[in-house]
Structure 1
């Protein structure tokens, strides 16, 4: 057996390269990433979007059957396959969906986290990693006005963070199979679709979902919410959960949180605020008052991979009340008895669905401690001003209709040069033209049944010349259209 063990050890040595081998691997990877970053602002060499993927066939071989390749060959594969098709989310030209960018310091943090492989789920196993996460959660809680007793989790993004909050609400409200069909959830048609997924996954799909009507600024109307609640009570239903938005995806709208909080307190409801996109704009003094009332909610979600420009896979869930979070997620197992003997800090594994947990806190902690908060504030203010600039320039184009003034950094618009069917078709043609050009990327949606384009400005690499490129493409397209009649 010893001979076999020695043989197997020899065969597996490649998994632990020596210092010289590590240096060779690093040089190749760094050469690839440096070339990627050096070209990132050249939209000719590194466009924001390539659509050639539609014409490509599957070329990847089975890695469990294929022979090993040299690191330079593998980096070449990444360069010519991964980077040559689809959307480049790291590009400043990414103006679709909700961009973030992925700041460099976070990539170094991820490298460290992968090398030391700290297990960030249990305090007993990695106390410093858990303390770091809790410190970041307390800072975010303080930003939105939550008490220090709040708990939370750095999750993989808004989807899981919203799920954590909604199942915690389920426990706090004591929603059971016997009561769920009389339970009412209030939100709006502009609530992010991950909230509908969270309701379904969290065992709440049999509850009644009400979409509260919106005002002309696409914000929830509190007076209509109150009417709906009173009507539901008369029907013998239980108004239980209110889901508000602080920065909707389509419009960037912030619901009137103070008035909604008044209603939730009047009727004894749980109020959850999805601030995944908008939350970190509270770092700007002139915008913070717009979020007034979020401090009165019971739970909230913010995505550092949006407003703090971190790499994808970073979302924060915050809940004011620890008990329902623990009730929903806490668990014990015999093989974990050593870890359970330590209770100086709550373990993230008891505050989320994850037991195995990536050391995500490091990718948020390192850039904040390295740069301080001021560069983040400056970048957020720049994105806000860029949105106002884009809106101002779009208003000068006769064939363009702006749906409303941007509240944060999303500008939603459409071509308006004829009847509704023609406007939809032309707006879609404009988007196709932008995608075919590839230098910048915008996305589309439907608002009130209308096909619209969204210019979402949130990448730290997006600057004035970027949005000017997008505006010029809109102008060029619009100039070929007839003037708006009337």
Structure 2
């Protein structure tokens, strides 16, 4: 026994650093505060894109002890100054995550208290907060009170949960898979194809419905295709619409698609990960008419509410379909079972153990109220207008008027529109090459980050204005950068 007690005492001493004393905690916190204050104060003075890779040797794990000061320096140079800077207002290339300050405070509180947000029995306060956030979003998107939902890590898991519920509601399994039909557009986010593969629907029939001139799904062709598939003995069971596509920001005709889905008994899923929260704005809210018709909806607070990466959401009307996929019990959890308690997040998600991610949304909404979020979203719509108008003044061509804050542009090589088809193909190729060189120069500059895509084979440059730090001066800097880069490419 004496030897055992000595061993325990030795191990307790060796493990003691895991519980820093008050002075040590104060030192750590002060160093982190100093770093974060400096980072935020200077974020407009740094580039939004660094064309360099981190030094792996500085980030590798060893058994040495390092000071917090040293590690903050390493983090700054090897993480924040490599690749895209997502917290920068100049990140207008891919859909940016936010990073508002109070969410960081919320994550700190959640991590210090280490609340469990999977089962009501284990964390009734944390689960109640997450359920109340779901209830609030049900109201925003006009879903019924009986709908259920979950706070996920992002749109990928949200879409996965929704499509799994659709699969199970329609009993699409075994030999039924190969005759079942899924309808979507080529503009759907690629996490959808990943989700379909993961849940065993890779062998289902996937119909890509043509788009109109504004990159929206053509509802007339959708209905015609469904009728034809039914006539051929196939089993249409789900249609996916987008409330803000990643490539062009388009909102599909949600109400028209909803009516078709109801008429033909299809599960109707809407991916609003990027665009959904624009429903809060006066300018764009009417574009979302019909979103309440969805059987399931994906939205990302870490996009449209400017929160840090790692917080998506899914709303689903059919609780039974969702439970079929995710609700399981275990003997060791018998103390946690009570039919009178609220919904457990673990019952509607693949996750059992989960971070209390809801606090990063709850705290900012409670402190700031909703008005600043609405104003920031509205601002992004008008910044998109401003950017497009200034590009046209400079001789650029722009895509159709966007539904939201994603758009695209390119610089034309020639204005002659009377060429024949073959000549037009050659023109598009040379324009694509020219704009690809322009994109390379923009990335070399790095002050503002833009991205590119191909639409019908044509190379174009994308803007995705959503960061809460993106302001008019950001767009002005971007325009000045584009002017310089264009001149270099021309020369």
TM-score normalised by structure 2 residue count: 0.95
The secondary structure found in structure 1 opposite 2:207 is: strand
Equivalences for residues 282-361 of structure 1 within 5 A = 282-341=279-338, 343-361=340-358
Confirm or deny that 1:261 pairs with 2:258: yes
Q: Is the 8 A contact 2:438 2:489 kept in 1?
A: no
Confirm or deny that 1:401 pairs with 2:397: yes
The secondary structure found in structure 2 opposite 1:41 is: helix
Count residues in correspondence. Answer: 476
Confirm or deny that 1:417 pairs with 2:425: no
Report the CA distance between 1:481 and its aligned residue. Answer: 7.0
Q: Is the 8 A contact 2:98 2:305 kept in 1?
A: no
More deviation, 417-426/266-275: 417-426
Which residue of structure 2 lines up, in the alignment, with residue 467 of structure 1?
475
Name the CA distance, whole Å, in 2 between partners of 1:68 and 1:481.
49
Which residue of structure 1 lines up, in the alignment, with residue 367 of structure 2?
370
Please, which runs of 5 or more residues in structure 2 have no aligned partner?
Answer: 415-426
- 1:120-176 per-position Cα deviation (integer Å, ceiling 9, x unaligned): 000100011111111111111111110011100000000001101110111111112
Q: Is the 8 A contact 2:437 2:489 kept in 1?
A: no
Report the CA distance between 1:100 and its aligned residue. Answer: 2.9
Confirm or deny that 1:163 pairs with 2:166: no
Which residue of structure 2 lines up, in the alignment, with residue 151 of structure 1?
148
Name the CA distance, whole Å, in 1 between partners of 2:250 and 2:371.
25
Which residue of structure 2 lines up, in the alignment, with residue 58 of structure 1?
56
Report the CA distance between 1:220 and its aligned residue. Answer: 0.4
Which residue of structure 1 lines up, in the alignment, with residue 130 of structure 2?
133
Name the CA distance, whole Å, in 1 between partners of 2:249 and 2:323.
32
From 3, 6, 12, the equivalent of 1:3 is: 6
- 1:69-97 per-position Cα deviation (integer Å, ceiling 9, x unaligned): 11111111112221221111000000011
Name the CA distance, whole Å, in 1 between partners of 2:102 and 2:489.
46
Name the CA distance, whole Å, in 2 between partners of 1:82 and 1:27.
21
Q: Is the 8 A contact 2:392 2:398 kept in 1?
A: yes
Which residue of structure 2 lines up, in the alignment, with residue 439 of structure 1?
447
TM-score normalised by structure 1 residue count: 0.96
- 1:404-452 per-position Cα deviation (integer Å, ceiling 9, x unaligned): 1121001211122141121111111111111111110001111111111
Which residue of structure 2 lines up, in the alignment, with residue 32 of structure 1?
35
Confirm or deny that 1:22 pairs with 2:25: yes
Report the CA distance between 1:472 and its aligned residue. Answer: 2.1
Name the CA distance, whole Å, in 2 between partners of 1:284 and 1:462.
17
Name the CA distance, whole Å, in 2 between partners of 1:341 and 1:245.
38
Q: Is the 8 A contact 1:397 1:478 kept in 2?
A: no
Report the CA distance between 1:284 and its aligned residue. Answer: 0.8
Report the CA distance between 1:343 and its aligned residue. Answer: 4.3
Name the CA distance, whole Å, in 1 between partners of 2:73 and 2:58.
14
The secondary structure found in structure 2 opposite 1:179 is: helix
Give the direction of change, closer, same or farther, for the CA distance of 1:61–1:189 in structure 2 (3 Å limit): closer
Name the CA distance, whole Å, in 1 between partners of 2:59 and 2:259.
58
Report the CA distance between 1:478 and its aligned residue. Answer: 3.9
Confirm or deny that 1:219 pairs with 2:216: yes
Name the CA distance, whole Å, in 2 between partners of 1:31 and 1:86.
24
Q: Is the 8 A contact 1:257 1:292 kept in 2?
A: yes
Which residue of structure 1 lines up, in the alignment, with residue 48 of structure 2?
48
Name the CA distance, whole Å, in 2 between partners of 1:58 and 1:138.
44
Q: Is the 8 A contact 1:51 1:436 kept in 2?
A: yes
Give the direction of change, closer, same or farther, for the CA distance of 1:479–1:84 in structure 2 (3 Å limit): closer
- 1:223-268 per-position Cα deviation (integer Å, ceiling 9, x unaligned): 1101111111122111110000000000000000110011001101
Which residue of structure 2 lines up, in the alignment, with residue 97 of structure 1?
94
The secondary structure found in structure 2 opposite 1:108 is: helix
Which residue of structure 1 lines up, in the alignment, with residue 420 of structure 2?
none
Report the CA distance between 1:476 and its aligned residue. Answer: 3.4
Name the CA distance, whole Å, in 2 between partners of 1:287 and 1:460.
18
Name the CA distance, whole Å, in 1 between partners of 2:412 and 2:91.
24
Q: Is the 8 A contact 1:251 1:412 kept in 2?
A: yes
Confirm or deny that 1:275 pairs with 2:281: no
Which residue of structure 2 lines up, in the alignment, with residue 232 of structure 1?
229
More deviation, 94-103/369-378: 94-103
Q: Is the 8 A contact 1:121 1:356 kept in 2?
A: yes
Which residue of structure 2 lines up, in the alignment, with residue 201 of structure 1?
198
Name the CA distance, whole Å, in 2 between partners of 1:51 and 1:114.
33
The secondary structure found in structure 1 opposite 2:43 is: coil
From 431, 451, 456, the equivalent of 2:464 is: 456
The secondary structure found in structure 2 opposite 1:189 is: coil
Q: Is the 8 A contact 1:105 1:363 kept in 2?
A: yes
Give the direction of change, closer, same or farther, for the CA distance of 1:62–1:48 in structure 2 (3 Å limit): closer
Which residue of structure 1 lines up, in the alignment, with residue 418 of structure 2?
none
Q: Is the 8 A contact 1:276 1:302 kept in 2?
A: yes
Name the CA distance, whole Å, in 2 between partners of 1:342 and 1:60.
52
Q: Is the 8 A contact 1:415 1:424 kept in 2?
A: no
